[in-house]
Chain A
Amino acid sequence: MTEHPPVLFCPDRESVERYSRQMLVQGFGGPRAQQVLQQQVRVLIVGCGGLGCPAALYLAGAGVGCIGLADADRVQRSNLHRQVAFTDADVSAAKVTALRAALQARNPRVHITEHDVMVSADSARDILRPYDVVLDCTDNAAARYTVNDACVWERKPLVSAAAVGLDGQLAVYNHGRDGPCYRCVFPVCPPPECQGSCDADGVLGMVPGVLGVLQALEALKLVMEMRGVGKWRCSLTGRLLLFDGRHLEFRTVQLRPRQRHSCAVCRQVYDEEEATRALPLNGARPTTAPAAAELPAADPLYLDVRPPEQFAMMHLRGALNIPFDELPHRAPQYLSCRRHRHIRVVCRRGIQSQKAVALLRQLAPNAVHIENVPGGMEALVSKRGVDEEHGKHAR
């Protein structure tokens, strides 16, 4: 007898309790958007300092399903005034480990992946490939160029913030075809004596705090835009927000569009893309799977092919929803991901899922094991009866 995960009636009680005030906001997209955030969204935070701590705390609070943390540093006592996720007891602990504990204490539903390494030109592309969006929360110019270049190569939007003293800056780079990358706007790295830093010039904790929270806000809108849920769209593309903490002024200025011909990295990436497009047929770019390769592998992936409205009412815990009609274009990225070697397909009564299994077997590499859940959700529910605990709505 095959064991299946429990049926959740959505919005399940814990989601309602935990996220109701967020789901109520006009334009957020309600329980459906919340579910997408939890099940499909992956955000990478590079740098777990004064920007990364607040950004991570708020994204975990919002229920972003998978958060990657990259930093090779250890917590120092001089960090604590602004890196508010850390406590005095965390001094000398690895930042990624301490921050992970802080996030999971606040929201145990969030999956955290630690990248306890310096993000280098060699490692950056591999680290950020599984994610939807990258937050640049680093503290030096070299890392900012490294992260930017990897984002351009991997086609990931970059939500970039910086803070020194009482000043802060925020921008969304590499978003859409026309949105500039960091290097489009700042083609040349400034000389070392002109690179201010928090260690040398000081910083008031509230300043990266404000910027890190705004970074999380823009990242949230950005992933919701990418996943097609809710009504909000990223509003900072092509603009730079300047924050003056001394006079408490916010303003945004207009940046140049992407510099396709003069930016050293955009030029290479887009030249390569054009060359690839000119190839006959098989020249399609390999899909970048949104699933994190380094996540703990294993349980079968439940693929639910019912319409999203039915899925929203009730589904198996952890199931991924791709409506039947959307399988041909949305399924391949999951099928090509190393994490999903075993897929069980479920629908309402077990009929459409059989068609889906046949279709997926044509699309999938041989190594993927695909099977049907006979009788669908109706059979699963009638076998167990309605789980009272999950059937009740909290309000």
Chain B
Amino acid sequence: MVQVKLEFGGGLDAIVADRTKRLQVDAPVRTLGELITWVRRNCIREKHDMFAVSEATVRPGVLVLVNEVDWELEGTTRYELQPGDHVAFISTLHGG
């Protein structure tokens, strides 16, 4: 179990249970890839493909941040979660 803070931005909050932007969860996972799979099953209430199409990775156009840093700099799905980590899923916006 690891306790992490989740955040959904850029409109992703609309598909989260309770339409909430911020959640604190205890997830039975070790890596960020496992967390994505777990979040898709346990936190997303509808249109699951808007969050992630396949296991362990987000759909194109979603930026994952670990403690305010692009997950690409942290090893993406292989990143090992630490207690208290802040993981944000931000959908890119296109409107103007």
Residues of chain A having any CB pair with chain B under 8 Å: 47, 49-52, 137-141, 144, 161-165, 167-169, 185-191, 193-198, 201, 203, 208, 240, 242, 244, 251, 253-256
CB distance from A28 to the nearest CB of B (A): 28
Other A-B pairs, 13, CB within 8 Å; known A163-B96, A188-B61: A50-B96, A138-B94, A169-B93, A185-B70, A186-B92, A187-B60, A194-B60, A195-B61, A196-B91, A208-B96, A242-B9, A253-B88, A255-B70
| Residue with the highest number of chain A CB atoms closer than 10 Å, among B49, B91, B95 | B95
User: In this assembly, does B68 line the interface, its C-beta being within 8 Å of a C-beta of chain A?
Assistant: yes
Q: Do A167 and B96 touch across chains, with their CB atoms under 8 A apart? A: no
Known: A190-B61, A191-B59, A194-B59. A52 touches B96 (CB 8 A): yes
CB distance from A158 to the nearest CB of B (A): 14
Q: Do A196 and B60 touch across chains, with their CB atoms under 8 A apart? A: no
Which chain B residues border A164 with CB–CB below 8 Å? Answer: 10-11, 93-95
Assembled-state Cα–Cα distance A308/B70 (Å): 43
Assembled-state Cα–Cα distance A117/B69 (Å): 38
| Residue with the highest number of chain A CB atoms closer than 10 Å, among B49, B72, B88 | B72
Q: Do A201 and B95 touch across chains, with their CB atoms under 8 A apart? A: yes
Assembled-state Cα–Cα distance A167/B9 (Å): 8
CB-CB nearest in chain B for A48: B96
CB-CB nearest in chain A for B72: A256
| Residue with the highest number of chain A CB atoms closer than 10 Å, among B10, B59, B88, B94 | B94
User: In this assembly, does B39 line the interface, its C-beta being within 8 Å of a C-beta of chain A?
Assistant: no
Residues of chain B having any CB pair with chain A under 8 Å: 9-11, 49-50, 59-63, 65, 68-70, 72-73, 88, 90-96
Which chain A residues border B95 with CB–CB below 8 Å? Answer: 50, 139, 162-164, 196-198, 201, 203, 208
CB distance from B19 to the nearest CB of A (A): 12
Q: Do A141 and B94 touch across chains, with their CB atoms under 8 A apart? A: yes
Which chain B residues border A194 with CB–CB below 8 Å? Answer: 49-50, 59-61, 91
CB-CB nearest in chain B for A161: B96
Assembled-state Cα–Cα distance A113/B9 (Å): 37
Q: Do A242 and B60 touch across chains, with their CB atoms under 8 A apart? A: no
Which chain B residues border A139 with CB–CB below 8 Å? Answer: 94-96
Q: Do A186 and B60 touch across chains, with their CB atoms under 8 A apart? A: yes
CB distance from B54 to the nearest CB of A (A): 13
Assembled-state Cα–Cα distance A283/B88 (Å): 46
Q: Do B65 and A167 touch across chains, with their CB atoms under 8 A apart? A: no
CB-CB nearest in chain B for A142: B94
CB distance from B2 to the nearest CB of A (A): 21
Q: Can you list 22 A-B pairs with a CB-CB distance of less than 8 A?
A: A51-B96, A139-B96, A164-B10, A164-B11, A164-B94, A167-B10, A167-B11, A168-B93, A186-B61, A187-B60, A189-B60, A189-B61, A190-B59, A190-B92, A193-B50, A194-B60, A194-B61, A196-B11, A197-B95, A198-B95, A253-B68, A256-B70
